[in-house]
Amino acid sequence: MLEAIRHYGIVPFFRCGIPGWSIEEMTPAECWFMSSHQLGPWDWKIDVIQSGEVAYGKYLRRKAGFATAEYYGHLLNWRRSQEKYRILADGDGPMALGCPGGQKGRKAPGTLDDRIKNGGLRTVDDRLNALMAKEALDAIKEYGSLESGELRQLLEERIPAEDRKSVGGHMEKYLLPKIKKTALDFTLQYLEMGCYVLTGDFQRVYRGPNCEYSGWQRASLTTPEALFGTQTQDSKIPPSQNGGTPSAKDGKTQNSKQPFWVKFIDGDSPTPSSPGTSGPASIKAASSSAAATEASVETESSAASVLIPDCSAQESYRILTDRITTFFPGCEKELSKLLL
């Protein structure tokens, strides 16, 4: 499985409209579903993610995908250039999510109610993301890694009930009295599509008197910068295209010197959950039930890093399309739907 991801650079987990380009289609039918003697790709993905080479998340039309650090970097460069995925550090600066302030370079009102009255956040989806996306991303950055339940608890503490009520519409029942999984999942998918958040780790859950593993897993969320411990910078967007606001630190690189999981090894982590350290397993190895080798701390610390490529967002898009169309000629139309 890991070898397949390395080969293509980026691969959807499930069928995606491009025949042959998915882990599902590459997996023998008898191995797709887990059983007592065959774990399948649902479990193999844990070793792939823990290899430190792969970015996993719901960033292909809100569905799961795998990408090497190099090609995820290009996807990140492209997605963060798109207005709908812009998240700025200044809370009262130009906003994305359909707000006029983000499109015309005017200052957006600071509160959610003001922005609704100003006509900037017309849909429930826009209002939900405007309320929760920045808060969720800030919390994940603060802790380095969080499970979704932990994140929900933090957001309930940080976002007042009256602000949640302002979202209105069909989402109100998922925000009051507590933030439910449905509301958070929607916001997390937005952040994953924008390449701000991905899955940092999975932990196998053992249940019952015999501590048996039947496929249940617990996922933790992190950022690409924290996962790969790398230098990054915002996409190179001219000020005229992003509302006149320069990128963080005026476009200079931001340093994250080490992956978030190093703190767990040192026993000095502020986060409530910790990642595992098992190594990768290829599709052939996993399908033949070969045991995956354990990766050492030294192997993890030398994992591939996501470095925003030194090219424009449009060039990154071209590199992604050229890569996939090399293997699957004539798929440009379907591919564009996955990359937008």
Residue of 9 and 256 predicted with greater confidence: 9
Query: Comparing 24-33, 34-43, 131-140, 319-328, which segment has the lowest mean pLDDT?
Result: 34-43
Residue of 53 and 286 predicted with greater confidence: 53
Q: Are 140 and 151 in contact (CB under 8 A)?
A: yes
Q: What is the pLDDT of residue 169?
A: 92
Distance CA 227, CA 235 (A): 19
Instruction: Read off the pLDDT of each residue in 180-186 and give the average, rounded to a whole number.
Output: 96
Domain residue extents for the chain = 1-82+194-340, 83-185
Q: Which two tokens stand for residue 179?
A: 């933030």
Cα dihedral sign, 196-256-254-11: negative
| Tens digits of residue pLDDT in 55-105 | 999 999 999 999 999 999 999 999 999 988 876 434 433 334 333 333 333
Instruction: Read off the pLDDT of each residue in 126-151 and give the average, rounded to a whole number.
Output: 94
Query: Comparing 197-201, 298-302, 322-326, which segment has the lowest mean pLDDT?
Result: 298-302
Instruction: Read off the pLDDT of each residue in 168-184 and give the average, rounded to a whole number.
Output: 95
DSSP letter for each residue of 16-45: -SSTT-SHHHHS-HHHHS--SS---HHHHH
Question: For the chain, what is the mean pLDDT?
Answer: 76
For the ranges 32-36, 57-61, 274-278, the maximum mean pLDDT occurs at 57-61
Percentage above 90 pLDDT, the chain = 53
Distance CA 191, CA 223 (A): 10
| Tens digits of residue pLDDT in 209-251 | 888 887 789 999 999 999 887 554 443 333 333 333 333 333 3
Q: What is the pLDDT of residue 27?
A: 93
Q: Tell me the pTM.
A: 0.73
In sequence order, the 6+-apart residues with CB closer than 8 A to the CB of 138 are none
